[in-house]
Structure 1
Amino acid sequence: MTVKLGFADAGEVADLAAFLARLIHYDRSAAVRLQAGGGALAVFGRPPAFEVLAIRTVRLDAVVELDVTVSAGELLEALDEPASAVVVPSAVTGPPWAGVLPPRGGWRQLPGLPSDAEIRGAVAAAVAEFRARDEALPAEARTRAERDRIGREIWSRTLGGTEVPLRVVHAAQSLGFLRAAGAGAELALLGAGPWLRLRTPYGSVAVRRVGVGALPLSPL
């Protein structure tokens, strides 16, 4: 059965296309899970370089119920930006992460999130540290395993006084979620059970807190 979705805002369609393109940049065979309900479509992806879930939400022009995993590349190709519509591609067998998503509800705002400027500064400092330590490696030690070890050490550090790993904000920046926004459009840190979510005006990045409960299944 062919499903066609119409979008309510052309700017959000362009943002969705950019999001999908970034996911494909990190993984050409990337899959995304689509969940539509209540007049909005949530698109979930997992860029492998960051080990987080990224979520981009776009408003629909009608109330539609949908839950399917598709190829990110096929979805991008199917997007008709001038018409603000898309014919949903055929379902694919989803990767393991696509079966276990953060809950839809029960989120509460958490304190301690630094200012936007401090967050950007923390990411920039971490990137600079990685580059400096990578360049300082002797030639015989400049291996993928050693670079991965340095990256895990740096990006597993937490942001300010929060539990948020730096890889969450690095992913948000790399996926285009940390663009400057209008007044009042601030970042927010949310929690629900074992999950943390950094919400921005352009998308969210979610991660499971280490050592907190079992991974909950999102209701279908």
Structure 2
Amino acid sequence: MTPTLHVHDPAERENLATFAGHAVRLDPAAVIRLRRRGHDYVSAWAATSFEVLAVRTVVGELALDDITVAGDLLLSSLSGPAAGAPIDLGYSMDSAWRSSLPPMSGFAHVEDVPARSLIELAERGASIAAEHAGGHGPPASLLDQAVLTVTGGADRVEVPMRVVFALTAMDFIPHGGDRTDSRRIPLDEIVRVRATAAWLRLDARYGSVARRRAGAGPSLRVLG
């Protein structure tokens, strides 16, 4: 019997489907890692093509503590059954998940930044990438460039372009119908920058992205 996920609220079901849809759009072979968070929540993780992790948490009940499933199957299962019906997760694909996850706690709030500023950075980055990209996407030098620096207390956090690209590609910032137009982002919409000694995380209204900080060691490993 394959494991199941219960998401009773149609709005939460749609939230998860939207997350899975963005992950599959970025990578048709994407896998989604589902982790139980307390009794009533499930966090869905995806490894984006920018080498940045994306996560969205929904109200739901997961039969297992932790399972990785095919993104396209999850998306299909979310679109099929009626609201409240169990969501068939298919067979476990745990061996396909190769990224370590950040800790669930311990992140310190560093600073809030205007969401519009991040969209503007992504717009400029996309323009530069279009000029210099070859057949393999944006150059690594652009993706690794620190485009935002924030400070909080004694901590100074640099945000590379790849993290900004991942945040906008996953559509985590509310917009007025065109996520590529910064003018449609409300002026008071913010993105919260949080960090640990090893991880950087950007929290937007519809989800978060996370990446190991420079010098904190590799973010990829084979999980047993």
TM-score interval for Structure 1 and Structure 2 normalised by the shorter chain = 0.7 to 0.9
Secondary structure, counterpart of 2:113 in structure 1: coil
In 2, Cα distance between equivalents of 1:130 and 1:185: 26
The aligned counterpart of 1:139 is: none
Superposed CA offset, 1:6-30 (max 9, x none): 2253223222212212222222221
In 2, Cα distance between equivalents of 1:94 and 1:184: 42
Change over 3 Å in CA distance of 1:81–1:184 after alignment to 2: farther
The aligned counterpart of 2:45 is: 44
* Structure 2 unaligned residues grouped into runs of 5+: 151-157, 176-184
The aligned counterpart of 2:142 is: 154
The aligned counterpart of 1:22 is: 22
Change over 3 Å in CA distance of 1:84–1:202 after alignment to 2: farther
Q: Is the 8 A contact 1:16 1:56 kept in 2?
A: yes
Structure 2 length-normalised TM: 0.78
Secondary structure, counterpart of 1:102 in structure 2: coil
Residue 169 in structure 1 maps to residue 164 in structure 2: yes
Amino acid of the structure 2 residue aligned with 1:157: Q
Residue 210 in structure 1 maps to residue 214 in structure 2: yes
Structure 1 length-normalised TM: 0.79
Higher strand share: 2
Superposed CA offset, 1:161-196 (max 9, x none): 241111111111111112248897631111123111
In 2, Cα distance between equivalents of 1:96 and 1:64: 19
The aligned counterpart of 1:34 is: 34
Change over 3 Å in CA distance of 1:184–1:58 after alignment to 2: farther
Report the alpha carbon displacement of residue 215 of structure 1 after superposing the two structures with TM.
5.6
In 2, Cα distance between equivalents of 1:183 and 1:40: 31
**How many correspondences in the alignment?**
202
Identity within the alignment, %: 27
The aligned counterpart of 1:126 is: 125
* Structure 1 unaligned residues grouped into runs of 5+: 135-142
The aligned counterpart of 1:138 is: none
Secondary structure, counterpart of 1:110 in structure 2: strand
Q: Is the 8 A contact 1:31 1:94 kept in 2?
A: no
The aligned counterpart of 1:140 is: none
Report the alpha carbon displacement of residue 93 of structure 1 after superposing the two structures with TM.
3.8
Q: Is the 8 A contact 1:55 1:205 kept in 2?
A: yes
Superposed CA offset, 1:101-139 (max 9, x none): 11111111113x5322211111111111222345xxxxx
In 2, Cα distance between equivalents of 1:63 and 1:76: 16
Secondary structure, counterpart of 1:161 in structure 2: strand
The aligned counterpart of 1:66 is: 65
Q: Is the 8 A contact 1:194 1:215 kept in 2?
A: no
Amino acid of the structure 2 residue aligned with 1:151: P
The aligned counterpart of 1:137 is: none
Amino acid of the structure 2 residue aligned with 1:171: A
In 1, Cα distance between equivalents of 2:102 and 2:161: 19
In 2, Cα distance between equivalents of 1:132 and 1:216: 30
In 2, Cα distance between equivalents of 1:187 and 1:26: 22
Residue 76 in structure 1 maps to residue 67 in structure 2: no
